C-alpha cells in the first residue's frame, strides 16, 4: 500500500478508525479486525480515550502489544470522559497521556491529538504541555481534530520556535460533506499540515449499504441518529448515480469514496472503521482507483446537480 507522511510519521493511505472497538466489538473481534488490517497493509490506527468508554484503547493495546513496532498509533484526548477527565489544560494533558499509555500498553504514542478545541484553555498552554511530552519521548508528533482554519492559524502562531506544533488535523470530509474545501484544506497546504478525513464513507452511505426503497439494515449505524439527516431523497439520488458511475468503470462506490479523497493534496490517510475482517480488507483495497480529471469533474457534477 502507498504511504504518505504526517510530520515524521510514514502512514498507509488507508487507516483504521477504532471507534467500534469496545462499543460494537469485543476484545476477540477487535483482534481479528486489527490483524486483518495489518495483513492487508494498513499501518495507521486511530483511536481516542473516549471510544468505547476507554475500551477501544484497552482492546487495541492488548492486540498490538505483540506487533507494536509495525504500526503508527494515534489516539486523542480532550473529549469528556467524566466531570474530571476532560479538556486541554496542561494538568489534564499530563494525566490523559499517562492513562492512554497504560491502556495502550506502550511507551510512546506516535500521534497524540487534541480531540476538539477547548475554549477554556489558551492554545499556547496546551501546546506547551504537549511539547513537554514530545521532549520526554512519550509522544512523537501532535495533532488536532475538529479545528477551523482560524483555529489552525492561531495554533501555528502560538507554537514556540523549535517546539512541537500540530502536524495534522482530523475533520469530517467526504464526497458528500465538502465543508473543509471552504478554507481548512487550503490552510493545511499553506502551513504544511496533514489532513486526515473522518467519516469518509458517511457512516456507510457511500458503501452501497443503504439504497432507496430498501429497508435500513437492522442494527446499522444509520438506523437511528444521523440517519434522519443523511437518508434523504437527495442523498439517495446522488448515491445511485455514484454507484452507476463507478460500476460503469469497473469499480465500486467504496473505491470512489477512498480514491476521491486521496486526490486532495493535503489528505494523507483516509481512516474508516470496520466491524469485520472482510470490511478491513475491503477498505485497504479501495484506494487504488486513479481518477482522471474528467472523472473528478463528472463526480463533482453528480454531487452538485440540483434535484
Tens-place pLDDT, residues 98-143: 999 999 999 999 999 999 999 999 999 999 999 999 999 999 999 9
| Helix segments in 65-181, DSSP class H | 90-104, 123-135, 149-158
Contact at 8 Å (CB) between 149 and 187?
yes
Contact at 8 Å (CB) between 191 and 152?
yes
Domain spans of the chain, in order of start: 3-201+264-288
State the cell numbers at 255.
473505491
Residue 188 CA to residue 152 CA, distance in Å, equals 8
Please name the residues in contact with 281: beta carbons below 8 A apart, sequence gap of 6 or more: 36, 37, 40
Tens-place pLDDT, residues 130-178: 999 999 999 999 999 999 999 999 999 999 999 999 999 999 999 999 9
Q: How far is residue 234 from each of residues 80, 227, 301, measured CA to CA in Å?
A: 34, 13, 14
- Using alpha carbons, select from 211, 159, 167 the residue that is nearest to residue 8: 167
| Residue 221 predicted with pLDDT over 70 | no
Element (H, E) at 77: strand 72-77
Query: What's the average model confidence in pLDDT over 235-257?
Result: 97
208 versus 260: the higher-pLDDT residue is: 260
Does the model's pTM come out above 0.85?
Answer: yes
State the cell numbers at 67.
506487533
Q: How far is residue 93 from each of residues 26, 29, 98, 159, 284, measured CA to CA in Å?
A: 28, 31, 9, 16, 33
Query: What's the average model confidence in pLDDT over 250-267?
Result: 98
Residue 139 CA to residue 107 CA, distance in Å, equals 9
The partner residues of 25 in beta bridges, in order of sequence, read: 21
Place of cell 442494527: 219
pLDDT band at residue 220 using 50, 70 and 90 as cut-offs:
low
The partner residues of 76 in beta bridges, in order of sequence, read: 113
pLDDT band at residue 215 using 50, 70 and 90 as cut-offs:
low
| Residue 223 predicted with pLDDT over 60 | no
Q: Choose, from 51, 92, 173, 210, the residue flagged as catalytic.
A: 51
Phi then psi for residue 232, to 5 deg, are -105, 160
Widest distance between CA atoms in the chain: 57
Please, what sign has the CA dihedral across residues 30, 34, 37, 42? positive
CATH superfamily of 3-201+264-288: NADP-dependent oxidoreductase domain (3.20.20.100)
In terms of C-beta density within 10 A (0-12 exposed, 13-18 middle, 19 or more buried), how is residue 72 classed?
Answer: buried
Share of the chain above pLDDT 90, in %: 90
Tens-place pLDDT, residues 63-72: 998 899 999 9
Residue 198 designated active-site: no
Contact at 8 Å (CB) between 295 and 302?
no
pLDDT at 222: 61
Tens-place pLDDT, residues 20-52: 999 999 999 999 999 999 999 999 999 999 999
Amino acid at each position: 500500500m502507498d504511504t504518505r507522511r504526517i510530520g515524521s510519521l510514514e502512514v498507509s493511505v488507508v487507516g483504521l478508525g477504532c471507534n467500534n472497538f469496545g462499543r460494537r466489538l469485543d476484545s476477540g473481534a477487535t483482534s481479528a479486525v486489527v490483524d486483518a488490517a495489518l495483513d492487508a497493509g494498513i499501518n495507521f490506527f486511530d483511536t481516542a480515550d473516549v471510544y468505547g468508554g476507554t475500551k477501544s484503547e484497552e482492546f487495541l493495546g492488548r492486540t498490538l502489544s505483540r506487533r507494536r513496532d509495525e504500526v503508527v498509533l494515534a489516539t486523542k484526548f480532550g473529549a469528556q470522559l467524566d466531570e474530571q477527565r476532560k479538556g486541554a489544560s496542561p494538568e489534564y494533558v499530563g494525566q490523559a497521556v499517562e492513562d492512554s499509555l497504560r491502556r495502550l500498553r506502550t511507551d510512546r504514542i506516535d500521534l497524540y491529538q487534541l480531540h476538539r478545541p477547548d475554549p477554556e484553555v489558551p492554545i499556547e498552554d496546551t501546546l506547551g504541555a504537549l511539547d513537554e511530552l514530545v521532549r520526554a519521548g512519550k509522544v512523537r508528533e501532535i495533532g488536532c481534530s475538529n479545528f477551523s482554519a482560524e483555529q489552525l492559524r492561531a495554533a501555528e502562531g502560538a507554537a514556540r520556535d523549535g517546539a512541537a506544533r500540530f502536524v495534522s488535523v482530523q475533520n469530517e470530509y467526504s464526497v458528500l460533506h465538502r465543508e473543509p474545501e471552504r478554507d481548512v484544506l487550503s490552510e493545511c497546504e499553506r502551513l504544511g499540515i496533514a489532513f486526515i478525513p473522518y467519516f469518509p464513507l458517511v457512516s456507510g452511505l457511500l458503501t452501497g449499504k443503504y439504497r432507496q426503497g430498501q429497508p435500513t439494515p437492522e442494527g446499522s449505524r444509520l438506523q437511528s441518529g444521523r440517519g434522519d439527516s443523511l437518508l434523504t431523497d437527495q442523498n439517495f439520488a446522488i448515491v445511485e448515480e455514484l454507484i452507476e458511475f463507478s460500476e460503469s468503470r469497473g469499480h465500486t462506490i467504496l473505491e470512489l469514496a477512498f480514491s476521491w479523497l486521496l486526490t486532495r493534496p493535503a489528505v494523507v490517510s483516509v481512516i474508516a472503521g470496520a466491524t469485520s475482517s472482510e470490511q478491513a480488507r475491503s477498505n485497504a483495497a479501495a484506494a487504488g482507483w486513479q481518477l482522471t480529471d474528467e472523472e473528478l469533474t463528472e463526480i463533482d457534477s453528480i454531487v452538485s446537480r440540483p434535484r
